[in-house]
Chains A and B, each alone.
Chain A
């Protein structure tokens, strides 16, 4: 009898499964088509779709920078924004779904924030040839995609120059969030900048986490600990490219007199949450993701969508050093000279 009960349970389960699998023939996009049409006519202007990386709006760093660019475009072109955010357990299918949902609902352009969208943007862009896609920090191959990349190594080179000129102990440090190729670009440029300026200066390079463990981008405690270690070791200028972990590093540096922190992505001197420590923030290596996003949205609004790979280099103002606080005013001539060398091509900055 038990066997029969189990067997019938199994049969019911499979039957139910088969039923659901065959009963509904229409796809979700067909279901949505009517609602999206009405939504589209409801509000005029450009409809910007944003697919964020893990963290989303409010991370004070990378995603926020993209959000700033989209907000600016939204105001200027009186459009609307729809935002979706990634989870850490995401698979390719989830990322594709996010982009497909946006495309189905009539959002155009759609900006994918973060390199993990590279493959999914390619696939979805091929399915929606009339929609313009933007991809940040990676390069896609589909024709209707604008790949927005930055030369982080060039900006970091300048940070290295500043660090070498400001250190009194001939010892500086670098803290990377995770040892991804992207963060290694920051490290490579920084080290080269230091060595080209003062070959005798020692550089400590440290990553908070490794491989697929991305917690190094969001652990201020780890950043603080690593910075304290480097300070104890004798470093007095510390550059952290580590998402919100950098906040911890800045906090640790502010506790030591005469030591400097170098911020990243946004001008961290002006970030309200860090105002307590701003007198220790020498400068920030600013990566203008907002400019990239804004330019892309504007190009779509103007009817001439950007495509291909837009490289936001030092020459184009895509990366650079923030001058808030005036702490690097005295070394500005040297920084300008270094910048000129990179822009002219006299100095090639390594990416790894």
Chain B
């Protein structure tokens, strides 16, 4: 940064995006924060929010479900990204299409589909009872487990793609070199592949976590009114209770949480990237 004494004309290319973000996102955000901090309740509304035990339930719901969704996405996404990076030609194209195409199906449609899959007589319940794992049919629909499964399905591409992007750049000969030196496959994965792909993991985790923490449509369809998160509480405060003070308070709390996660993961990514 210290070397750019004169403004690089190429930076002007960022102007349209900067203006766009500033106008449609930055300004409203400033208004929102202004209202939550200096509105009728001001800081008192934050004090009130954190003094209420129910707020902590809502916070815990938000963080726990987002963390679980992120974990499931990572467990499913990492091996997929590994296969995708190793695959070549047609296979790679096919896997990429399989990952990206479902993104074009609306969230509402997917949430409705999960409603059928997670029912008491749905395919999950039938499979589990058929395998003898469950003694009787059970319903996952409208449970937190159902929410995590459904949301992970929708967000998993955002975990796979960043990890894949990093893995693709890793020289395959590094693994071979480790092998010639006598490293076992597990040792090779833990000491070579995993550390090299960490920046991708960190990016994927930040993506999925911030989206899962702020999801609104999926919980309202898959788990319903009985599981309030910061996002659903914000929506209800603005749209139905017309309580803008509470709505902007919860929105700012949610924003602070996700920004914290993104900043932490970015600095983690930089540190890990630098260590290589």
* Interaction A to B: no
